[in-house]
Amino acid sequence: DAGVTQSPTHLIKTRGQQVTLRCSPKSGHDTVSWYQQALGQGPQFIFQYYEEEERQRGNFPDRFSGHQFPNYSSELNVNALLLGDSALYLCASRWQWGGYTFGSGTRLTVV
Amino acid sequence: KQEVTQIPAALSVPEGENLVLNCSFTDSAIYNLQWFRQDPGKGLTSLLLIQSSQREQTSGRLNASLDKSSGRSTLYIAASQPGDSATYLCAKDNDMRFGAGTRLTVKP
């Protein structure tokens, strides 16, 4: 049983560009959350999707947007990339009020 | 602002010691609480989930307890091993906010 799958694993982008990160939740999970983790810090909550709608949002600017598809997979889009957006981006999924399962993350470097 | 505090920030112990990691929340409203470990540059691995009706969970050498009235959780690791070296993080799932974690080093 595959867990949470994220792609790509690594990405290098130039300041000002746009990026799309992808997440396939664990089988049977319907809720997807996205996190940004800077080096040496805990994960920061970006937003959560359930039934294709954004259910909760953390303190991130509108440059960060997302989408959930009918098969529960999700995308995170970041526009107008800044150097400070360089981080490990983590996706987590769960079913209803069960525990979260995390993917291995996408390492984004903005140069 | 809801905050998560994990104490200590870092801990270094010799192999075989029992140890306690602490997690507290400014907002004591808690549904489920989950403990994770994270190896450098990797994703988070779930260790224990304490559901809203429970007070503790055990898995092998790990035991986590939850005191909702005080907004605190404790992770107990028995007979620590070098393979336990990692960063340990807690989060409560009504808002899934994390603390900065406790960086544990277990020396052989």
Instruction: Give B78-97 pLDDT, tens digit per residue.
Output: 999 999 999 999 998 766 78
pLDDT bucket at B3, cuts 50 / 70 / 90: confident
Residues 6+ apart with CB under 8 A from B21: B6, B7, B8, B11, B74, B75, B76, B77, B88, B102, B104
Cα A73 to Cα A25: distance, rounded to the nearest angstrom: 6
Q: Which among A10, B73, A99 is positioned nearest to A21, based on CA atoms? A: A10
pLDDT bucket at B65, cuts 50 / 70 / 90: very high
Per-state percent for chain A, helix, strand, coil, to nearest 5: 5, 50, 45
Which positions in chain A touch B96 (Cβ < 8 Å)?
33, 45, 48, 92, 100
- CB neighbourhood size of B83 (10 A): 8
pLDDT for B14 beyond 70: yes
| Cβ–Cβ < 8 Å for A42, A88 | no
pLDDT bucket at B28, cuts 50 / 70 / 90: low
Cα A83 to Cα B49: distance, rounded to the nearest angstrom: 35
Q: Which among A61, A58, A55, A59 is positioned nearest to A74, based on CA atoms? A: A55
From the CA of B38, how many Å to the nearest CA of chain A?
A: 10
Tens-digit pLDDT string for chain A (111 aa): 569 999 999 999 999 999 999 999 999 999 999 999 998 889 999 999 999 999 999 999 999 999 999 999 999 999 999 999 999 999 999 987 788 999 999 999 999
pLDDT for B62 beyond 80: yes
What is the pLDDT at residue A5? 96
Phi, psi of B83 (to 5 degrees): -65, -10
Which positions in chain B touch A2 (Cβ < 8 Å)?
none
**CB-closest option in B31, B43, B97 to A90:** B43
Q: Which among B5, B37, B8 is positioned nearest to B20, based on CA atoms? A: B8
Which positions in chain A touch B89 (Cβ < 8 Å)?
42-43
Comparing alpha-carbon positions, the chain A residue that sits nearest to B96 is: A45
What is the pLDDT at residue A69? 97
Strand order in the sheet with A5-7: A5-7, A19-24, A74-78, A64-68
What is the pLDDT at residue A1? 57
Cα A19 to Cα B37: distance, rounded to the nearest angstrom: 28
What is the pLDDT at residue B1? 52
| Cβ–Cβ < 8 Å for A63, A84 | no
At A48, which helix (H) or strand (E)? strand A44-50
What is the pLDDT at residue B25? 85
pLDDT bucket at B69, cuts 50 / 70 / 90: confident
**Which of 70-109 (A) contact B at CB < 8 A?**
88, 90, 92, 94, 97-105, 107
pLDDT bucket at B68, cuts 50 / 70 / 90: confident
